[in-house]
Amino acid sequence: MSEISKEYDFKQVEEKWIGAWDESIYYFDWNSSAPQYIIDTPPPYPTGNFHIGNALNWCYIDFVARYKRMRGYNVMFPQGWDCHGLPTEVKVEEIHGITKNMVPREEFRRLCEELTARNIAKMRVTMRRLGFSNDWSNEYVTMTPEYYSKTQRSFVQMYDKGMIYREDHPVNWCPRCGTAIAFAEVEYDARTTTLNYLQFSSPLGDILIATSRPELLAACVAVAVHPEDEDNRKYIGTEVAVPVFDYNVPVIADEVVDPAFGTGVVMICTFGDKQDVRWWVEHHLPLRQVIDREGRMTEAAGKFAGMKISECKDAIIDEMRSKGIIKKEEPLDQNVGLCWRCKTPIEILSERQWFVKINSAEIVETSSEIRWVPDHMETRLLNWTGTMDWDWCISRQRIFATPIPVWYCKSCAEPLVAKEEWLPLDPNLTGPPISCPACGSDDFEPETDVLDTWMDSSISVLNVTGWLGPHKPRYPAQLRPQGHDIIRTWAFYTILRAKALVGTRPWDSILVNGMVLGEDGHKMSKSLNNFIAPEEVVAKYGADAFRQWAAVGGSPGSDVMFRWKDVISGGRFLQKIWSMYRFSAPHAVRSDDSAPNQVDRWLLFELSQMIEAVTGSMDRFAFDEAFRAIRSFAWEIFADNYIELVKSRLYGPDGPEKRAAQSTIYAALEALTALLAPFTPFIAEEIKQSLSGESVHAASWPEPLGLEAQPQGLLIKEVASAVRRYKSDRGMALNSPLAGIEVYTYLVLETADLSGSTGSPVAVKRGQPDIETRAAEVKPSMKVIGPAFKERSGGIIGKLKGMDPEEVARMAKAGRIEVDLGGEVVELPPNAVEIATETLSSGRAVDMISLEGATVLIRTGP
């Protein structure tokens, strides 16, 4: 064995193994009959930066994947890339100084694909550097025809089953992104706006209507009051005139109107909010769409046409103020819906869009078949299910996305949905191979809308389990790891799609991780200057230290604060492990001819207990618990106690006793490297390879040894560490010999290791020691004597010191101490002295240490 360096060089070790590892040992075996463990890894958006939140999530996944492999599972830890979407389109426009409409559709798509491929390559480098055991034979990229043909086929299958339809329907619309978005993509933010009281004229007398959206005045299609509203119900069934635009709308009755809000009269517009949509449907009201797809006023807004929404609002308010139509203005706190990507307030527009039907009851039922970790996260899904006012809008008005495989007949307008065997295709580039089934025409117009990217990613689990692939499909997967921020999107849509397409739950378990917070406790962001890149941490302390932060930073589900001190202490632990290995490597020898003593058996019992505990924690995804148990065994039990106890045997003459210590060290090192392998794969590999020449990542997870508790060995360890403390409290060198140690206990202890590690003769005696305590020294208290006796204090103290300590102790116990100053006797209170005692055993002075199950006497005199 070559010389082992004193300092652990993480950089050299980690980079060596990244270059040397054979990644094919992580490949899933489609032909294996071993139990499968398929992980539905989140496909990250290829921004080019594998950020710390990803890194935390991937650490969890890697802990599980490596653990399960060692437990004998046929593990798939695939890696996907969720490519499509607006951020890449925007980036491409920025890089090339173009807008998407300046170049042909396919050229724009090609630029997006190029950028995405470059970004994926960068992120792969970071993932390898962090030591993740991805199965790169199961990598998928959603922008490739192999993947999006599955997205398209899923669309066709659901269309054929009647689960997808196209309809004119109000949808959430982001005017900045110029696309429809789903409810799950709407965020709400509290804002203060103004409530304006507008005067509408009526033959029964003018009425005031309060609204925060006067720019929608031209979209007003009715006015509503509560049927039991004393003040306003007389208007029901009449018509009122809309100010500025001067047309009449009906006054209707509806129980939902809150008579206490504003004046109790509301204006129904198409559409100010979701409630407007409900009223519009229930009362069969007409449509007056005043906002277009770019967020400008339409012709229906009359002279305001062409203005942006905010310009129109200002102009209308100015006009109404000058005409005296606004009677009152007051502040109003409101929740405003925003586009989750660009934070622009959304509008509700009526558009012809594609929708996926949502069956809430089925989602709730399927969710109950899934084990949620932590379980309270399921509430987020259940709370979300059923809150949507309409189905999942899946069409988007973008370019870089999966094309919707549909054409429309130009003569009869019937849609023609592609057959599965025609896919993949882009209807903008390819026409249908058949004529219109309805009218026989060959003149088609392509669907230019594309699919919501969640349509791609919500079949990730079907893709990795082999749906529509060459192998027998293996759904459901065993695990979905994901962040809690995408429960209402990714988790929800995946459950919906798996049930719709293959009729089963997508996974057995879902493991939800929290977000990473900066050291200041806030969500990490570049603008808050609390942003840390994984590469920075790895450069300073290595991947194994970074991964320890992920393990101990918090339990899965809770938000985890990034703390340098966790990484630094991770680095320290690596050095500790390294020093332990460096010391024990020459002594780690497997032997069949050994005689384990009480200390060896105790260590093996502790090891076995730890293996059992760690295995249980890993099964519950309690990585923090598991790692702490390994660390405390390695550090406190093995390095600080066991190795200290057996050193004299290791350096002693060869024989079964020495070989037992060597063998125990081998067993502990072997188990420790295996247990550390999921958490710190680099150092574990370095140690295992130099011990046995084999990869720890091909090793099995250690089994508990099934040993009985070893109270004798445990007591020997307690005595040895008590003696160590005793020496260090007295400033003695730890190897300095003591005159003698007697251990009184009812257990039968072997003394060799105790004697060797304390450097002192050790005798073990049965039962309790025969102890007597006697007063050894009188220590007068100046604090008590000084103030009472002033200048006589000196004489009193001198006298006290000369008296028989036993006599002084007897008087103190009786309540007063008499001191003869030569003629005069003074009385002192008991607290005027402190009596130091000494302990004697068989007439010899000793120090006594009481432990649970034993009394230890240390001879202090001859």
Q: Which residues bind Zn ion (CB under 5 A)?
A: 174, 176-177, 339, 341-342, 344, 409, 412, 414, 436, 438-439, 441
Minimum CB distance to Zn ion smaller for 198 or for 409: 409
Q: What are the structure tokens assigned to 578, written together?
A: 């390294």
Minimum CB distance to Zn ion smaller for 5 or for 441: 441
Q: Label the pairing between strands 833-841 and 771-780.
A: antiparallel
Minimum CB distance to Zn ion smaller for 412 or for 788: 412
Distance of closest approach, residue 442 Cβ to Zn ion, in angstroms: 9
d(CA 550, CA 560): 8
Rounded to 10 degrees, the C-alpha dihedral 613/615/617/621 comes to: 170
Which residues are bridge partners to 509 per DSSP? 371, 479
Distance of closest approach, residue 341 Cβ to Zn ion, in angstroms: 5
Minimum CB distance to Zn ion smaller for 100 or for 649: 100
CB 380 within 8 A of CB 485: no
- Residue 411 phi, psi (nearest 5): -90, -35
Distance of closest approach, residue 438 Cβ to Zn ion, in angstroms: 4
Minimum CB distance to Zn ion smaller for 177 or for 808: 177
Instruction: Indicate the SS3 state at residue 373.
Output: strand
Minimum CB distance to Zn ion smaller for 441 or for 690: 441
Distance of closest approach, residue 416 Cβ to Zn ion, in angstroms: 8
CB 152 within 8 A of CB 424: yes
CB 820 within 8 A of CB 841: no
Distance of closest approach, residue 295 Cβ to Zn ion, in angstroms: 10
Minimum CB distance to Zn ion smaller for 179 or for 212: 179
Minimum CB distance to Zn ion smaller for 285 or for 409: 409
Distance separating the N- and C-terminal Cα atoms of the chain: 48
What is the distance, to the nearest Å, from the Cα of residue 607 to the centroid of all Cα atoms in its chain?
A: 29
Residue identified by tokens 């009425």 is 207
Residue identified by tokens 């599955």 is 150
Distance of closest approach, residue 634 Cβ to Zn ion, in angstroms: 51
Instruction: Indicate the SS3 state at residue 505.
Output: coil
CB 271 within 8 A of CB 277: yes
Distance of closest approach, residue 86 Cβ to Zn ion, in angstroms: 7
Q: What are the structure tokens assigned to 107, written together?
A: 């050229």
Long-range CB contact pairs, 675-678, < 8 A, 24+? 675/610, 675/611, 675/614, 675/630, 675/701, 675/702, 676/577, 676/630, 677/66, 677/70, 678/62, 678/63, 678/64, 678/66, 678/67, 678/70, 678/618
Minimum CB distance to Zn ion smaller for 445 or for 694: 445
d(CA 253, CA 228): 9
Minimum CB distance to Zn ion smaller for 295 or for 556: 295
Other Cβ atoms closer than 10 A to 245: 18
Distance of closest approach, residue 458 Cβ to Zn ion, in angstroms: 21
Segments in 677-732 forming alpha helices (H):
681-692, 711-729
Residue among 84, 105, 89, 276 nearest 178 (CA): 89
d(CA 440, CA 829): 121
Q: What are the structure tokens assigned to 495, written together?
A: 């459950």
Strands, sheet with 771-780, edge to edge from the N-terminal-most edge strand = 762-766, 741-745, 854-859, 844-851, 833-841, 771-780
Distance of closest approach, residue 174 Cβ to Zn ion, in angstroms: 3
Minimum CB distance to Zn ion smaller for 176 or for 234: 176
Minimum CB distance to Zn ion smaller for 99 or for 344: 344
Q: Label the pairing between strands 164-174 and 347-356.
A: antiparallel
CB 305 within 8 A of CB 179: no
Distance of closest approach, residue 415 Cβ to Zn ion, in angstroms: 10
d(CA 281, CA 265): 19
Distance of closest approach, residue 441 Cβ to Zn ion, in angstroms: 5
Minimum CB distance to Zn ion smaller for 339 or for 510: 339
Minimum CB distance to Zn ion smaller for 422 or for 583: 422
Distance of closest approach, residue 433 Cβ to Zn ion, in angstroms: 15
Distance of closest approach, residue 412 Cβ to Zn ion, in angstroms: 3
- Residue 213 phi, psi (nearest 5): -125, 65
HEC per residue, 143-205: CCHHHHHHHHHHHHHHHHCCCEEEEEEEEEEECCCCEEECHHHEEEEEEEEEEEEEEEECCCC
d(CA 85, CA 113): 11
Distance of closest approach, residue 398 Cβ to Zn ion, in angstroms: 11
Rounded to 10 degrees, the C-alpha dihedral 287/292/295/298 comes to: -80
Minimum CB distance to Zn ion smaller for 216 or for 338: 338
Minimum CB distance to Zn ion smaller for 94 or for 824: 94
Minimum CB distance to Zn ion smaller for 443 or for 703: 443
Give the CA distances from residue 365 to residues 360, 361, 377, 485, 717, in Å, rounded to whole numbers and listed in that order.
9, 6, 16, 22, 55
Handedness of CA 79, 83, 87, 88 (dihedral sign): positive
Distance of closest approach, residue 293 Cβ to Zn ion, in angstroms: 12
Distance of closest approach, residue 171 Cβ to Zn ion, in angstroms: 13
Distance of closest approach, residue 347 Cβ to Zn ion, in angstroms: 11
Distance of closest approach, residue 109 Cβ to Zn ion, in angstroms: 20
- HSE toward the beta carbon, residue 518, CA cutoff 13 A: 13
Minimum CB distance to Zn ion smaller for 100 or for 659: 100
